[in-house]
Structure 1
Amino acid sequence: MATTQTFRLPDPQTGLFPNVRLGRDISNYGGVFGYLPGASPESRPPIYGAPFTRAPYFERPSPTDTPRDLFIHDASEDTRGDLCHPEAHRLVRRTNDRERLVYVDGSCLDQNDSTNAVIRRAGCGFVFRPAPYAVKDRVESFRLEAKGPTGVESPQTSNRAELRAAIGALQFRRWDGEGSDRLVIATDSEYVVLGITHRIEDWVARRWRTSAGKAIKNKDLWECLLAEVNKFAQQGMEVVFWRIPREWNDEADAAAKEAARTLEPKAEFVTLSGVLV
């Protein structure tokens, strides 16, 4: 029988966060079956419990750990011998070379056109490679499209940009094909992290309605994000989400803002694809 449990989503800085009350049983969430020794990504079994109705939250070994404490941030530290090609450096976990980190962020800016009317411009960015690579080689950025994955036009908002950045990062590479069995999506967006790790399960159970009966905003992107999480879960790779302080996410934030300011708007939703990166 389902029971109400309390879940603590840690504060990004201190590791503490006000309790979130959940009305669904979360006790049966399956853990991860590790990467089988010697197995190729194609032969890895799906993660136990997949398909998931929500994604897991990243738990730090210590509440004071930062991304730089846990993941390498300079290519000189990446000594793995299983690189796809000589420049395939990643933000790799110091204690587990099959775990990678990607920073993601979205931004929405108000600009005035020639008639002084306010136009909203949203952009997205993510960081997938360490220094000393040039910014153009370690950061990907793009405009939030006018239409979502279902072809329906939606407004330019910061929440949509944050969601779209996470989707873009997941679609960018066949991360499991690089030998990863866990990908950490680091974002300063509480909206994204709390939504995908906890609230989405109840939203779906209520047919995409809030507890007050209102329609959930950005349903198209939430469904797309959960589908990406489950796509990788079926390939044996776990996608987890980590809410970090904004100051830890400065590079992805700058990329998202620059994309919003300078890149041309796009109408159709585009699946990003990184080749030889």
Structure 2
Amino acid sequence: MVATIARFTLRQARHSRLLVLAGLLLVFAFVLTGLAGAVALTEHAAVQAVLLAASLRAGAVGLIALFAVSACLREQDDRTLDLVLALDAPRSHYVLGKLAAFALIAVALAAACALPLLLWSPPLAVAGWAVSLACEAWLIAALGLLLAFTFRQPVTALAALAAFYLLARGLDALLLLARDPVFVHEGAFRAFVESGIALIAWVMPGLHRFTDAGWLGTAGFDPVLLWPVLGQTLVYGALLAAAAAFDLYRREF
């Protein structure tokens, strides 16, 4: 059952022209990087690698988020999900099949995005960046699956997903601003804001540690940096899968 749902989801990705969109993303990012690198005064290779990595990361995450939410909502709207759940199999198999397909799609997107980076960065750094991008994209797809069950509206689900992603990516900067503000007086409100942001940062995944474009530039890459990425992927992936399965079990379609 899990394998069947995974194959069906992969077929959806093929029919939705996800590979074509990924190809267009690569071309657009390549052209943008070439223009930016042409005006760089120094470190042309490092500048091009960092800009290309940042644009590819944003594009890959956006593509898999759109696909995950739209595919799940389409199955709910055309009653395909009702047929799947009517089968003699646990509903958790549907979630596991979806997550398995999303993992394969995330790996394929990460590999495709990593190939052009080999022109400017060492293979080890590119491989680590690709692994981190696959983990980040898979977490976003898993969250998209949960939000599709929760809201059942594409605009609401995508808006919530975008807000979550931007907050998770910017938590480190927000916490830094709260601890060392510029034009803010000391007081109880500052302590309250700092404690609130610290609590949110403790609960949410630290996506600012994922897929750092600096690994491909002058900052360099250390394989040890992947350990927190893999650990958070396992923990939050399991939590999102459990939440999606729980939401699926409690709903009547």
**What TM-score bracket applies, with the shorter chain setting the length?**
under 0.3
TM-score by length of 2: 0.27
Kindly indicate which of the two structures has a greater share of residues assigned to helix.
2
Kindly indicate which of the two structures has a greater share of residues assigned to strand.
1
